[in-house]
Amino acid sequence: MLANGNQNLAAAATTPYKIMLVGDGMVGKTAICKSYIRKTPYLSYQPTISETHEITVSIYKNDYVVILWDTNAGEEWNHLRIRDYNNTDCFILCYAIDNPTSLSNVETKWVPELNQYCPNVPILLVGTKTDIRTPSNRWISEEEGDALKVKVKAEAYIECSSKSIASIEGVLMRAVSIAEKYRQWKTQSSSRRLCTIL
Amino acid sequence: MDRKIPTTLWKTQLLKLVSEAPKAALVECDELGYQRFPSTSTTTSSSGDDSDQSIQSIGFGIGGELNLREREEIRRNRHHHHRHSLRRHGMLEEDDEVIVGSTSNVCSSTISADDLGLDLRCLRLSIKNPRHHHLLESSSNCSNSLESSHNSHSPSPPQPILDDDVNNDSPNGSLSRCHSSRSNNSHHHHHNEDHDELVIPSSSASSAAAAASITTTSAPPWDRPDLYLYNPFGSAFHGYLSHSQTKQRLTKDGHYLVRKRVTDDDFVLSVRFNGHIKHFIIVFDDTSGLIYIGDRDKGYEKLQDLVQSGLITLYLDQKAGPYIDLMCDLTQFNNQRNHPTFNVRNGSRHRHHHQTPPPSSHSTVITMAVNGRHNFKVSSNSSTISKHQQHSPSPSVSSLSRSSAERQRIPDLRAHSFQVHTFQELSRCQICQNFLWGLSSQGLLCKDCNLITHESCAERVITECEPQLCHIPQVFGTSLTILVKAAGGFRPPFVIEKCVAEIEKRGLHIEGIYRVSGSREQTERLKRYLEQERESADMSQFPDIHSMCSLVKLYFRILPQPLITPDVFQRFLNADELTLDIIKRDLKKLPAAHYVTLKYLLRHLHQVAQMSDRNKMNPFNLSSVFAPSLLCPSQLNMSTLKQGTTALELMIINVPILFPKI
- Reported as a single tens digit per residue, the pLDDT across A115-167 is 999 998 999 999 999 999 888 888 899 999 999 999 999 999 999 998 899 99
Q: Given its phi and psi angles, is residue B296 left (phi above 0), alpha (psi -120 to 50 degrees) or beta?
A: beta
Cα–Cα distance for residue pair B316/B15, rounded to 1 Å: 10
| Domain count within chain A | 1
Rounded Cα distance between B535 and B526, Å, is: 13
pLDDT in tens, A172-191: 999 999 999 999 898 888 77
What strands lie across the sheet with A156-159, from one edge to the other? A50-59, A62-71, A17-23, A90-96, A123-128, A156-159
**A-chain residue closest to B615, CA distance:** A45
How many H-runs (helices) and E-runs (strands) does chain A carry?
Answer: 7, 6
The amino acid that residue B227 corresponds to is: L
Asked, for residue A6, whether it belongs to a domain, the answer is: no
Q: Indicate whether A5 belongs to any domain.
A: no
Residue A48 in domain: yes
Residue B26: the pLDDT is 76
pTM over 0.80: no
The answer to whether B546 faces chain A, any CB pair under 8 Å, is yes
Residue B492 bridge partners (DSSP): none
∠ CA B598-B602-B606, rounded to 5°: 175
Q: Share the mean pLDDT of chain A.
A: 85
8 Å CB contact of B519 and A79: no
Which of A74, A76, A101 is opposite residue B519, by nearest beta carbon?
Answer: A101
In tens, the pLDDT along A90-113 reads 999 999 999 888 999 999 989 999
If DSSP states are collapsed to H, E and C, what string results for B357-407? Answer: CCCCCCCCCEEECCCCCCCCCCCCCCCCCCCCCCCCCCHHHHCCCCCHHHH
Whether residue A195 is contained in a domain is answered as no
Q: Please check whether residue A132 lies inside any domain of the structure.
A: no
Among the listed residues B37, B171, B538, B512, the one whose alpha carbon sits nearest the alpha carbon of residue A101:
B512
> How many beta-carbon contacts under 8 Å exist across A and B?
71
Identify the pLDDT of residue A3: 46
pLDDT averages per 10-residue partition of chain B, 662 residues: 49 70 73 42 36 33 43 47 40 37 30 35 33 35 37 39 38 36 39 38 38 37 45 73 79 81 75 82 77 70 79 76 65 45 38 36 34 34 34 35 43 70 75 71 76 77 71 82 80 90 90 86 90 87 90 90 89 85 88 90 92 90 88 79 88 90 70
Q: Say whether A76 and B628 touch across the interface (CB within 8 A).
A: yes
- From A25, A45, A77, residue closest to B628, measured CB to CB: A77
Going from the C-alpha of B493 to that of each of A61, A92, B478, the distances in angstroms are 60, 39, 10
- Which residue of chain B is at minimal alpha-carbon distance from A96? B516
Residue partners of B487: CB distance under 8 A and separation at least 6: B469, B493, B494, B497
Range of the domain at A39: 17-126+148-188
B544 touches chain A (CB under 8 A): yes
β-sheet bridge partners, residue A66: A17, A55
Q: Find residue B366's DSSP bridge partners.
A: B418
Minimal C-alpha gap between A136 and chain B (Å): 23
The complex's ipTM? 0.82
Measured at the CA of B16, the angle between CA B14 and CA B21, to 5 degrees, comes to 95
C-beta separation of B74 from B228 below 8 A = yes
**Shortest alpha-carbon distance between residue A138 and chain B (Å):** 21
CATH number, domain with residue A99: 3.40.50.300
How big is the CA angle at A52 (ends B554 and A55), to the nearest 5 degrees?
145
When CB atoms are compared, the residue of A50, A74, A104 closest to B625 is A74
**CB-nearest partner of B517 from A24, A50, A80:** A24
Judged by a CB distance cut-off of 8 A, whether residue A43 touches chain B is no
Q: Which amino acid is at B95?
A: D
**Torsion angles phi and psi, residue B420, rounded to 5:** -65, 130
The verdict on B520 touching A (C-beta cutoff 8 Å) is yes
Contact (CB<8Å) A80/B557: no
Is A59 within a domain?
yes
Contact A76 B544 (CB under 8 A): no
Q: From chain B, pick out residues whose CB is under 8 angstroms from the CB of A104.
A: 519, 521
Whether residue B138 contacts residue B197, with contact meaning beta carbons closer than 8 Å, is answered with no
Q: Answer yes or no: is A106 within a domain.
A: yes
Residue A114: pLDDT band (50, 70, 90) is very high
Closest partner CB to A76 (pick from B512, B544, B629): B629
Is A63 part of any domain? yes
